[in-house]
Structure 1
Amino acid sequence: MLPIVLTPETARIGLIGEGEALERRRALLAGAGITPIPVLPEGDLGDLRILFVAGLPTDLSEVLAARARRAGILVNVEDVPSLCDFHVPAIVRRGDLLFSVSTRGRAPGLARRLREWLEERFGPEWEVFSAELGEARTRWRGEGASAADISVRTRKIIEEKGWLG
């Protein structure tokens, strides 16, 4: 497994599907700041890099996955691991702070429970904490601080404020 974080400004992500599954994927992408490109079953996949398929019959999902792969597009078909080039982890988002948990699609219940555990321990206040450290890092870099110095300063703030107990 290789976890990555995509930059919303450059992600070319398509979305096709129906019903609740489609809306779950749309909400996932919106939470990441991504407006997906709508795809029609027989439509052009254009210059997509990733395609999400959700809530469609298996036979149509198989056809779409095969088309995407032939075009060099990574595909995720919700709840059909055998048709997926990648899996979407369980996510906790606190502003720019992102926690993800994955079992490679093999134990989604475990990933969901760990996500809930993280949500309980890292509440909405972590969005503020993360933003504060981000602003400090930008300031320190502008002052010419080295990466090592920034790391030390970051640890010091976290410890001084008792953010991790």
Structure 2
Amino acid sequence: MIPIALDPTHVRIALVGQGPLAKRRLAQLLEGGASPAVYSPEPDAELAVLAGDGLRRALPSPTDLDNAQVLFVVGISEDVAEALAHQARDRNILVNVEDVIPFCDFHAPSVIRRGDLLMTVSTGGKSPALAQVLRERLETLFPAVWADRLAELAALRDRLRAAGAKGPEVLRACRDLIAAKGWLP
């Protein structure tokens, strides 16, 4: 596995699915700044509200798929998911079919988000339960206040850079601030 973080302002993302897992995945995509096209033949009311104007009440056509670079497939029958995975791969679209490893080009890690601080846990799809347990532990170690802490570090970095400081000096100052504030044990 090669970990990467995608900027959704530069990547066209689509989601095909329904049910609670589709809602969870869509919420994660939205929280990450994505505005995915959402395809769901029979969305429940909650998914429809969450998807908003991005909802199409059907499966994607081949032309629809041509407009995506990353495809998430969640909560639909395995035969439909397999067909979509093949169609996506034929178009060089990265695809993830939730919990069906052979149809996945990538795995979506378990996510902890504190403002712009993003931490992830991945088991390469081998144990979602372990990823969930580790994520829950990290959530307790890094509470919501870390969003403000990151903002404070970013402001320090910006001030130092504006004053002409170079990378090693900025790094040292940030590490010193973290230590002085006692943010980490």
TM range (shorter): over 0.9
Residue in structure 2 matched with residue 101 of structure 1 by the alignment: 121
List alignment gaps of at least 5 residues for structure 2: 40-57
Q: TM-score, normalised by structure 2?
A: 0.86
**Equivalent residues in 2 for 1:63-82 (5 A)?**
63-82=83-102
Amino acid at match of 2:59: P
Aligned length: 165
1:41 and 2:65 correspond: no
Q: Distance in 1 between matches of 2:162 and 2:82?
A: 51
Query: Secondary structure at the residue paired with 1:93?
Result: strand
Q: Deviations over 1:101-125 (max 9, x none)?
A: 1110101111111101100111011
The separation in 2 between residues aligned to 1:36 and 1:42, in whole angstroms, is 13
Q: For the structure 1 residues 84 and 7, does the alpha-carbon distance in structure 2 shift closer, same or farther, using more than 3 Å as the test?
A: same
Give the AA of the match of 1:104.
G
- Preserved CA contact (<8 Å) 1:41 1:64: no
Q: Compute the displacement of 1:8 (Å).
A: 2.3
TM-score (norm 1): 0.96
8 Å Cα contact 1:50-1:75 kept in structure 2: yes
DSSP 3-state at the match of 1:48: coil
Query: What's the counterpart of residue 61 of structure 1?
Result: 81
Secondary structure of the residue that 1:75 maps to in structure 2? strand
State the Cα distance separating 1:42 from its structure 2 match.
Answer: 4.4
Distance 1:128 1:107, change over 3 A: same
Conserved? CA contact 1:18–1:56, under 8 Å: yes
Separation in structure 2 between the aligned mates of residue 46 and residue 148 of structure 1, nearest angstrom: 44
Secondary structure of 1:16's partner?
Answer: strand
CA distance in 1, matches of 2:30, 2:60: 25
Counterpart amino acid of residue 15 in structure 1: L
1:32 and 1:150 map into 2 onto residues whose CA distance is 27
Query: Which residue number corresponds to residue 8 of structure 1?
Result: 8
Moved over 4 A (4+): none
Q: Could you say if the C-alpha distance between residues 11 and 82 of structure 1 is closer, same or farther in structure 2, counting changes exceeding 3 Å?
A: same
Q: Distance in 2 between matches of 1:139 and 1:129?
A: 15
* Separation of aligned partners in 2, 1:81 and 1:98: 24
Question: What percent identity do the matched residue pairs reach?
Answer: 45
The answer to whether 1:154 aligns with 2:174 is yes
Partner Cα separation in structure 2 for residue 91 and residue 159 of structure 1: 25
CA distance in 2, matches of 1:136, 1:17: 43
Look up the equivalent residue of 1:49 and give its one-letter code.
Answer: Q
In structure 1, how many angstroms separate the alpha carbons of the residues matched to 2:141 and 2:19?
32
